[in-house]
Amino acid sequence: MNPRSKNSTRPTIIHVARAAGVSKSTVSRVLQGDAASVKTETRQAVTRAIRKLGYEHNAIASMLRTARTFMVMLITPDIANPFWSEVARGLQDTLERPGYSVVVGNGDRDPQRENAFLKTARRNRFDGIAINPTVIHSRELRAANIPTIILGVRDGFPGMDMIGSDSFQGTFDALTYLFQMGHRRIGFIDGHYNADPGRARYRAYRDFLKQRDLVFDPTLLVEVPFERAGGQRGMRVLLNVAQPPTAIFCSNDILAVAAMQTAQEASLVIPRDLSMIGMDDIYPAAMTMPGLTTMAKPKYEIGCQAAHLLLERIEGKAPREGRRCVLPCKLIERGSVAPPRG
C-alpha cells in the first residue's frame, strides 16, 4: 500500500531521512547529486526510501531555501542541426543528476529572439545560461548577471567561460588530408553568421594554402549561411568557375550534405569526379551515398563539460577569470574522398 493512502501528508525530506536511517543533510546531498560525499550503500538506502515513500522533490521549497530555481537556459542558433541536439543531450544528462532542468531556446540567429530568451532567463531567475551567441554581445550577457558558459571558442567574450572544439586545427587537418590524397585545387564552402568573429576555419584555410605554397584563388572560396540552401548555392558557384576544384571542404556537415546532393544532381560521381569533406560528424553524415568523410567534433562531451563548468560557476567554485576549454576534432574516413582523376 502506498504510504500516502494512510496519511494525506506529503512525504518530506525528514520522512526520507528517518526511513533511510540517515541525516536530513545526507538526503539533501543525494538529491543534489553530490555522490562523492555519500557512500554507495547510504545512497542506495536513501534511494530505496524515496521510492517506498513516494517522495517528490519540492522545487519551490528548494528555491526559497537556496535562492535557486534549478533551471538552466540553453540558447542554440539552430535546433534543427543535429549537432546541437547532441550538445543539448550532454548538457541535460549532466545537469539532471544534481536536479537541474534545461529549457531550450532556438535563437535562429535572430537578435530579437536571442535577446528575448536572455530576458526570459533573467525574468525567471534562471541559475545559468549556456549559449552559442551569433548576434548577442558579451556586454548583454554580463548585464544579465547570470552565470554563463559560451558554447564555442571565439574572441569577443573576454573573461567568460567557454568550451568548444578546435575548428582551426580541425580545418587544417581536413585540408591536409585532401592534400595527401593528391588534391591541390581545393574549394571551400565557408559558413558564417551575421557576426562571426574569429573565423577560425577561414584563417586555417589561408594558413594551409600559405604553408603548402598554394596560391589563394578567391573563386574557390564561397561564403554562405550555415544552412542547407547555403550548401546548395556554394556548390553551384564552385561548379561554374572556369577551373572547378577537385575537392571541397565545407564548414559543417549540413553544408557538405547539401553540396554533395547538388553535385550529384549535376551528374557528378563522388568521389570519382569530386571529393567532399565536412565537419561535425552529425548522424546524417553516415547515411549519405557515399558516406561523408568528416572531421568529428565531440558534441556530447562538449555538452557534458559545459554543464560541469557552469555548475562550478553557479556554486561559486570557479576561478574569477574565465576558463577556455578546447577539445580536438577527429578525422572520420568514409567514402566521399579519393585521389583526383588523372
CB 209 within 8 A of CB 230: no
On whether residue 63 sits in a domain, the answer given is no
* Residues 279, 281, 284, 290, Cα dihedral to 10°: 70
Please state, in angstroms and rounded to a whole number, the distance separating the CA atoms of residues 49 and 43.
10
Please state, in angstroms and rounded to a whole number, the distance separating the CA atoms of residues 140 and 103.
20
CB neighbour list of residue 53: distance below 8 Å, 6 or more residues apart:
3, 11, 15, 16, 19
The predicted structure's pLDDT at residue 15: 87
**Are 218 and 287 members of one domain?**
yes
Task: Quote the number of domains for the chain.
Answer: 3
The predicted structure's pLDDT at residue 201: 93
Please state, in angstroms and rounded to a whole number, the distance separating the CA atoms of residues 74 and 167.
21
Q: Please list the pLDDT of the chain residue by residue as tens digits (342 residues).
A: 444 444 457 788 888 888 888 888 888 777 766 656 778 888 888 888 888 887 766 554 555 455 667 899 999 988 889 999 999 999 999 998 888 899 999 888 888 888 899 998 988 889 999 999 888 888 888 888 899 999 998 888 888 999 999 999 999 999 999 999 999 999 999 988 754 545 899 999 999 999 999 999 999 999 998 889 999 999 999 999 999 999 999 999 999 999 999 999 999 999 999 999 999 999 999 999 999 999 999 999 999 999 999 999 998 999 999 999 999 999 999 999 999 987
The predicted structure's pLDDT at residue 228: 92
**Are 284 and 171 members of one domain?**
yes
**Are 173 and 261 members of one domain?**
yes
Q: Is 176 exposed, middle or buried (0-12, 13-18, 19+ CB in 10 A)?
A: middle
Residues in the chain: 342
What is the sign of the dihedral through the CA atoms of 33, 35, 39 and 41?
Answer: positive
On whether residue 75 sits in a domain, the answer given is yes
Domain CATH number, residue 74: 3.40.50.2300
Indicate the helix (H) or strand (E) that contains 89. helix 82-95
**Are 198 and 213 members of one domain?**
yes
On whether residue 119 sits in a domain, the answer given is yes
CB 331 within 8 A of CB 295: yes
**Are 53 and 82 members of one domain?**
no
**Are 193 and 273 members of one domain?**
yes
Range of the domain at 42: 3-57
**Are 161 and 171 members of one domain?**
no
On whether residue 334 sits in a domain, the answer given is no
Order of strands, sheet of 330-332, starting from the edge strand that comes earlier in the sequence: 221-225, 186-192, 247-250, 275-280, 293-296, 330-332
**Are 286 and 206 members of one domain?**
yes
On whether residue 338 sits in a domain, the answer given is no
**Are 79 and 196 members of one domain?**
no
**Are 222 and 274 members of one domain?**
yes
Query: What radius of gyration do the chain's Cα atoms show?
Result: 25
Please state, in angstroms and rounded to a whole number, the distance separating the CA atoms of residues 82 and 71.
23
Q: What are the angstrom distances between the C-alpha of 101 and each of 18, 56, 63, 105?
A: 28, 15, 13, 13
On whether residue 8 sits in a domain, the answer given is yes
**Are 192 and 80 members of one domain?**
no
CA-nearest of 153, 119, 126, 128 to 311 is: 128
Please state, in angstroms and rounded to a whole number, the distance separating the CA atoms of residues 91 and 334.
29
On whether residue 233 sits in a domain, the answer given is yes
CB 139 within 8 A of CB 108: no
Domain CATH number, residue 30: 1.10.260.40
On whether residue 332 sits in a domain, the answer given is no
**Are 246 and 202 members of one domain?**
yes
